[in-house]
Structure 1
């Protein structure tokens, strides 16, 4: 029978062999795991590269489609040849800027400018019979120097605004409205009454003052042609 020493040595050899085998297999397993991990990472990186490339291709295709649609779509046409169209647009823009820079309309300034034209102003409307009556008396029946100035409000750009301002300043909005030195003496019936009563000349002189150079009834032998 083998001695205990040999058995013990054999037992130690078996244990050492077993440990060596286990150690080797563990290293082999670890190496395989590392290799698997590296292959997996590599594939993931390659897949990521493919996705990025695909995304870039999709974006490029989208841009190409948009350019094609723009090329087929309607284009804004500018009239004119060469740079004439650009010049036309520049002129239009300059005119618009000029209009924007213009001061707002001031009816008070407008009325003051009208009152400076003559001592007597007849605010009228071309179709109004009462206006026709007042104009016939002041312009045809009487000779007044300077001649009365007529403003046809229905033909004036700002006729409505002027009428509103006359209501504010004279208390009268209807036509005709006859002003002497900015003071209203009434309408057609009022002027006719002054004429009939023989007070028109005196009224004009008293209110008109030094601005009225002459006022007199015209000679019946040479009447001024009547107004229509």
Structure 2
């Protein structure tokens, strides 16, 4: 298994909510805004700001069949991208609560 794949899997395993993002991406900003509005405690990895970002993005594609960012995981499960997250807005509070990812 590649180091990038192991790193991606470790980040997903260690955090209730993860957004693999790029700092300049408007869809990523929309995702992070929605999670912030919902009071979510989430971990963001900006793939354009880490040395192995391209390798991690390729590893995520292997894991999820999704190449694009944002790539969102809640409770260690792949949710998808921004449009997938926005489409689940109604169930988001429940998902975040179940994941233990709501700020106190």
TM-score by length of 1: 0.41
The reply to whether residue 143 of structure 1 matches residue 39 of structure 2 is yes
Contact kept, 8 Å, 1:125 with 1:175, in 2: the verdict is yes
* Aligned residue number for residue 26 of structure 2: 129
* Aligned residue number for residue 72 of structure 2: 178
Name the structure where helix makes up a greater proportion of residues.
1
* Aligned residue number for residue 91 of structure 2: 199
Return the index of the structure with the highest Cα Rg: 1
SS in 2 for 1:155: coil
What per-residue deviation string (whole Å, max 9, x for no partner) do you get for residues 146-193 of structure 1? Answer: x10000001111111111111111111100010123321111122222
SS in 2 for 1:154: coil
Measure the CA separation in 2 of the matches of 1:163 and 1:204. Answer: 24
The reply to whether residue 153 of structure 1 matches residue 47 of structure 2 is yes
Q: Name stretches of at least 5 consecutive residues in structure 2 with no aligned partner.
A: none
Aligned length: 103
Contact kept, 8 Å, 1:170 with 1:183, in 2: the verdict is no
* Aligned residue number for residue 10 of structure 2: 113
Measure the CA separation in 2 of the matches of 1:158 and 1:106. Answer: 9
Question: Which of 187, 199, 223 pairs up with 2:81?
Answer: 187
TM superposition outliers: structure 1 runs of 4+ over 4 Å: none
TM-score by length of 2: 0.85
For residue 215 of structure 1, report the CA deviation from its aligned partner: 6.6
Q: Name stretches of at least 5 consecutive residues in structure 1 with no aligned partner.
A: 1-104, 217-228
Q: 1:213 to 1:119 in 2, by over 3 A?
A: closer
Name the structure where strand makes up a greater proportion of residues.
2
For residue 200 of structure 1, report the CA deviation from its aligned partner: 1.2
Measure the CA separation in 2 of the matches of 1:182 and 1:171. Answer: 16
The reply to whether residue 214 of structure 1 matches residue 86 of structure 2 is no
